[in-house]
Amino acid sequence: MSTIQLLKTTFLSLVIVLSSMAKAQDAKEIVKQADDKMQGEESSISVMSMTIKRPTYERNLTFKNWTKGTQFAMTLVTAPAQEKGQTFLKREREMWNWNPRISRMIKLPPSMMSQGWMGSDYTNDDALKKSSIVEDYNHTLLGSEEIDGHDCYHIQLIPNEEAAVVWGKVIMWITKDEYIQMKIEYYDEDEFLVKTELAHNITTLGGRVLPSQFEIIPADKPNQRTLVNIENIEFNVPIEDTFFSQQSMKRIR
């Protein structure tokens, strides 16, 4: 091989490597912007309602969420009466549940993160935001695709080897104009689809353009689903780290 050919080959290889690195970085930045939009760059406080739809019944819940960064989250169930006052806490890598009806504090093991929160298709991991879609995954931009008339980035997330996450793979569709997560597919470790999350009712919430409803559909039970509605949300509200404690779990209302 001549010197010129060698230089051309080396240059081409370098371009390919740099291009791949740029795409990966772009994909991570896109996911981060979408995550920040939903969670707040620093914190968020939200009020949500949930409808759990099953073939023979429907069940409704309301709850309030507090989040701060990727380390802290608190969820308080406010209705119905039989579940009112139940609280869930994430503090760094520890997760807790307080049930006032039996005055019992339970530490949730990692194995419970994939289980349905309060009997819904919304997992404990979803409720507590245990894993970070930004830090716990490698991101690859697969291309572009239209979802419900929105031009979206099509991104694949594969967990880092050391990450303790629920999913074996996540596929996201994020709008190019507002960084809205329009569709998310969650796969298990064998790459079988477990559930799909769809965004509906794009509106303005907390001064941001966001979906006000999310629909979660399990792949193996297409006749059931869970609807999560954002009733109110505030972003970047000052919250002390000490708020996220077992003491707060017992007294917040």
Residue 213: other Cβ atoms inside 10 A: 17
What contacts 44, CB < 8 A, 6 or more positions away? 65, 66, 67, 206, 233, 234, 235, 236, 237
Q: Is the peptide bond before 110 cis (omega within 30 degrees of 0)?
A: no
Q: Tell me the pLDDT of the chain (253 aa) as tens digits.
A: 555 554 444 444 433 333 333 344 599 999 999 999 988 889 999 999 999 999 999 999 999 999 998 889 999 999 999 999 999 999 887 889 999 999 999 998 877 877 889 989 988 877 766 568 888 899 999 999 999 999 999 999 999 988 878 899 999 999 999 999 999 999 999 999 999 999 999 999 999 999 999 999 999 998 999 999 999 999 999 999 999 999 999 999 8
**pTM of the predicted structure, to 2 decimals:** 0.83
- CA pair distance 217, 44, nearest whole angstrom: 26
Residues contacting residue 180 through CB under 8 Å, at least 6 positions apart: 34, 37, 150, 174, 199, 202, 209, 210, 211
What residue ranges define each of the domains in the chain, with the CATH number in brackets? 34-251 (2.50.20.10)
Query: 51 vs 38, 61, 170, CA distance in Å?
Result: 20, 7, 24
